[in-house]
Chains A and B, each alone.
Chain A
Amino acid sequence: MRLLLVEDEPDIQSFLQSSLKEAGYEVAAAIDGKTAEQLAVDGKFDILIVDLGLPDVDGITLILKLRQMGVSAPVLILSARRSVDDRVRGLEQGGDDYLTKPFALAELLARLRNLLKRNSPAGSDTTKLHVHDLELDLLRREATRSGQVLQLTSQEFVLLEYLCRNAGRVVTRSMILDKVWGMRIEPETNVVDVHIYRLRGKVDGKGQQPLIRTLRGVGYVLKDR
């Protein structure tokens, strides 16, 4: 996976570069918009990380310019600002994602994987999802495990669907809040955990192999094998 990292802060750039490399990405780094453009022309990237506060050009302008140049890879926007303006929101609706500094590395990696997967066309419009012995009928809004129908509320179904679509990948609490409830909040209480706990109670019955796993300090993952 080739990744273009556009970040002007040397400290952040260095630790991002090494941790991204460790996560298996082939990283090219740029410290400003101009370098980023040159790199984007020369090589093909699967995903981009762009900081909004660049010294020479506004991050959004850079992304729009790259898009015009034919770069179609998804972008993860890094922003030091918390209130997100309409342009970022527009990009987010266009399939890109954003993350506010400071962030957890796990969050960054989870969102990157999410973006990459979202960008791959396969399996986006199936009507049934299969993970292990779990089956989700998206039309009838019904979940079964080993043939047994699970009594889920509609919200629990949406949550499980989100986990299934990201089976095998870590999803963080803020990703769940963002994608399942459609809000970017940082609750001071364990609201998401309780939802997962309840869902787990229904999905992972007695004697069955537990599917929903908690990764401490990071988030959750639905085991796919």
Chain B
Amino acid sequence: MHSAAWRISLWATLAFACGTMLVFVFLHRFVADDIQRRSDAWLSGEVEVLGDVAERTPKDALYDRVVGEVAELAGKEVPNKDLSESSSNDSVFFLQTGSDGSLKLWVGAGSGAPNLKAIQASRIVPDQPTDLNVQGFPVPFRVASDRIDDGSYIYLGLSERDELRVLRNLRLRFFLLWLLLVLLGFGIVFFTTRRMLSHVRGITEAASRIGHSDLSARVPTTERSDEVGNLALTLNRMLDRIENSMHQLHTITDSLAHDLRSPLTAIRGKLEMSLSTGSHGDQAEPIVSVIEELDRLTDFLNKSLDVAEAKADALRLNRSELDLDELLRIMIDLYEPSMSEKGLRIGLQSSGPRRVEADAALLHRMIANLFDNELKHLPAARTVSLKLTVEDDCASLIVEDDGPGFDPEVLPHLFERRVKGKDSNGHGLGLAFVDAVARAHGGAVAAGNRESGGARLVITLPLHD
């Protein structure tokens, strides 16, 4: 009901229906006027003829019969007449009044008294056909009159029934046709827009899939070169370029990693060998410390490259379905002894398995990062509490402690590289890495201080459906 196809076709149909209706109203008025004009012309002509006949016919015993028959004959040539109901002619009447206004001659259905009464009630001007409502007849008459020399008036009335019937037929047929057209139009518009929009939806779905995981996939294209086809082509060209630059970035980080790691490996190996030959005991200590420095450098290199890749949304994920609850329990199991050694407590509140599709190695490193941070910065006798909940389609992990919290100065820049607290001896990549991993999985991290004191981190990851 809320689809764009539905709305578009509804509005288009509404506009079409109103337009055609307006056209018909004009057409109807034109036809009605024309029919009336024809009836009026006939009436005027006939009443003139009848007036002539009435004038010329001698006023004898046969007068009534002669004029009456002429009037009856005229009544049979009524325009727009429905031929099927010709048995009793109630669509025409002829009436002559005497100079005193009494009914002198009557040809037509009924007694003629109500007609006379209606004529007397309304003022009818000669040569000007007028509408006349007569009691006992559901449809008004169109009446033309003429004055004869002897001071009497003749009236010729034509029922508007036939005229109205023609118009009613016209309206009925138009309405049926109009309904058919509107429904057909709605159907056509609805199905074409829906078809077109289903292409758009296909593109959207494919694009969102690509955004989440596979950059080598492409949105579906159509053979036609309309706007939607062009949209798909443009998107695909854009994806080509993104994939290309992503590929370049990977090549750069890979070769950087390779070019740095190879000499590091060689240096480390040679140092270790010189240690093991062990001929120079007094030099052992500096060599060990150089090796330790190298390891720190390696660690920094690894994390920098990870964060750099992640910031560019280029972390290579090896996704598999895993249970966040289980993963956390194993990590807690690993860290718990170290924590209790420092006098820290750690606890997890969780209501059961939470399946996510994620890179296990990256999540391990992310959680290890958080726990290492707590171990390094939290004073003794404090508590780290983890809470795993579900909100909308996301698992959210809340990590809280009751320590000193984040330095307020650092707080706004927490997820940037090289940002660290005053007393931190790390390299300031920890939280940037946490943020990067969460974002690479389509999640997010929010950090802040609790009102009651202590740090609070909320990591959200999309649940596996």
Contact = CB atoms under 8 A, between A and B. Distances in A.
Interface string A184-211: 1111111100110110000000000000
Interface in B272-295: 272-273, 276, 288, 291, 294
A190 B268 CA distance: 22
**B265, B291, B302, B315: most-surrounded residue (chain A CB, <10 A):** B265
A191 B335 contact: yes
A69 interface: no
Contacts of A190: 338
A217 interface: yes
B257 A81 contact: yes
A217 B294 CA distance: 14
B364 A183 contact: yes
B18 to A, nearest CB: 61
Interface in B291-322: 291, 294, 298-299, 302, 305-306, 315-316, 318
Given A15-B266, A187-B368, A86 B272 contact: no
A125 interface: no
Nearest to B292: A217
Given A82-B257, A102-B268, A184-B364, A19 B273 contact: yes
Nearest to B361: A184
**B269, B272, B273, B333: most-surrounded residue (chain A CB, <10 A):** B269
Contact of A80 (B258, B294, B338): B258
Interface in A138-170: 155
Interface in B316-360: 316, 318, 330-331, 333-335, 337-338, 341, 360
Contacts of B330: 181-183
A197 B301 CA distance: 31
Given A82-B305, A191-B337, A15 B269 contact: yes
Give the dominant DSSP class at B's interface: helix
Interface residues of A, number: 42
Interface in B175-232: none
A18 B375 CA distance: 40
A183 B327 CA distance: 10
Given A80-B257, A191-B334, A183 B361 contact: yes
B161 interface: no
Given A83-B315, A185-B368, A191-B334, 10 more contacts: A15-B266, A18-B273, A80-B254, A81-B258, A83-B318, A103-B268, A181-B330, A187-B368, A188-B372, A188-B426
12 contacts: A11-B262, A12-B265, A19-B273, A80-B261, A82-B257, A82-B302, A101-B261, A185-B364, A188-B426, A189-B375, A194-B341, A217-B288
Closest 6 pairs (CB-CB, A-B): A11-B266, A102-B265, A15-B269, A183-B364, A102-B264, A194-B337
Interface of A: 9, 11-12, 15-16, 18-19, 22, 53, 80-86, 89, 100-106, 155, 177, 181-191, 194-195, 197-198, 217
